[in-house]
Amino acid sequence: MKGLKFLFLLLFLTSCSDSIDSTEFNAQIASRTDINSPEDLMRLYYGSYELEGNSKLTISTKTSGENQFEITLIHNGLADDSVSDMRIIMKATKTNQTWTVLSIRESWKCREGRGHSYWGATKCS
């Protein structure tokens, strides 16, 4: 029974965010020296966006060591019929003026009746 509980807990914890391969993004930023902050790095990854209605975009950063960052973007109130909120968590390092992304995880909250209401890796229906 303990094994089953452990397996369920492991499945739950690993399904909280969908991991994205950062190889392509790292290739795009490899020679860029104009990315001045972790927030700039996240904005570059997320791309252009338009805030509509009650939409709100928040970017926060935690330093987890010298030149190591955990950058979180939360976009609340998306103009989408199934997804209400999106979260991206990026771990990155900066050496001199060059950034390297170590990991990117994405998760979503669904609108009522369109799937899960917690941060989950499963896309909304």
Cβ atoms of 45 and 90 within 8 Å: the answer is yes
pLDDT score at 13:
37
Higher pLDDT, 2 or 53: 53
pLDDT score at 17:
63
Fold classification of 17-110 is Nuclear Transport Factor 2; Chain: A, (3.10.450)
How many Å apart are CA 53 and CA 113, to the nearest integer?
A: 21
Q: Which neighbouring-strand residues pair with 88? A: 73, 106
Cβ atoms of 88 and 73 within 8 Å: the answer is yes
How many Å apart are CA 66 and CA 72, to the nearest integer?
A: 18
Cβ atoms of 59 and 73 within 8 Å: the answer is yes
pTM over 0.75: yes
Taking 80 as the threshold, does the pLDDT of residue 14 lie above it?
A: no
Q: Which amino acid is at 89?
A: I
